[in-house]
Amino acid sequence: MLAVELAPHSPEWEGAAAREAARLAATLGDNLIEIHHIGSTVIASIRAKPVLDLLPVVRRHEDLDSAASQLQALGYEWKGAFGIPGRRFCILDDPTTGRRLIHLHFFKRGSPRIVRHLAFRDYLRAHDDVARAYEAEKLRCAALHPDDSLAYSAAKDAWIKPVESDAIAWAAQEKSSARS
């Protein structure tokens, strides 16, 4: 179990995400379509666990599964689906301190989970009041589960699900308005 630490936003997170995306692109080649920076570290107005969440989109899971050893050579621990069908999950810890640095949430192009993650991220970026409410929920859950990041994440779920539905509807409306 990992302790829950919530830190003020750091402008360094964006650069770190870009550097890691370049490292992954060089390793995964043409199976990699794009990489999105998701999670609270991308929302400048709120505290976040200082762990980057990246969502790489791939063409084929089979090629990604074959590249597991290459990701391990980059220092990642390959976790497979890790409880979410259609996902491949990897974690990167600092080899010296053991501190968690990065989560990779790989999904195949076309996965509805990609839409969900991006809509939630973009909704919080566009709605500071909702982002602040999310920060309050994160602080509440961290107080309940200060030494268990999995329980912390599970505790946030009841707050996230309805906001996620709002975010998906908002994203669809934004997309429709952009076409008009």
Answer yes or no: is 7 within a domain: no
Residue 180 has pLDDT above 80, yes or no: no
> pLDDT digits over 72-109, tens only?
999 999 999 999 999 999 999 999 999 999 999 999 99
Strand ranges of the sheet holding 76-80, from the earlier edge strand across to the other edge = 32-38, 52-58, 100-108, 87-93, 76-80
Q: What share of the chain is helix, strand, coil (3-state, %, to 5)?
A: 55, 20, 25
Number of domains in the chain: 1
Length, in residues, of the chain: 180
In a domain, 61, yes or no: yes
Containing domain of residue 166, as a range? 12-175
Q: Is residue 33 part of a domain?
A: yes
Instruction: Note the pLDDT of residue 173.
Output: 94
Residue 175: predicted pLDDT: 87
Residue 171 pLDDT greater than 90, yes or no? yes
Q: Which is more confident, 1 or 19?
A: 19
Residue 57 lies in a domain: yes
* pTM, entire model: 0.95
For residue 13, what pLDDT is reported? 97
Is residue 86, in this structure, part of any structural domain at all? yes
Beta strand 100-108 with 52-58 is parallel
Question: From residue 40, how far is each of 32, 50, 54, 97, 113 by CA, in Å?
Answer: 23, 9, 11, 22, 17
Q: What is the domain-level CATH number for residue 115? A: 3.30.460.10
Residue 39: inside a domain: yes
Is residue 103 in some structural domain?
Answer: yes
The verdict on residue 26 lying in a domain is yes
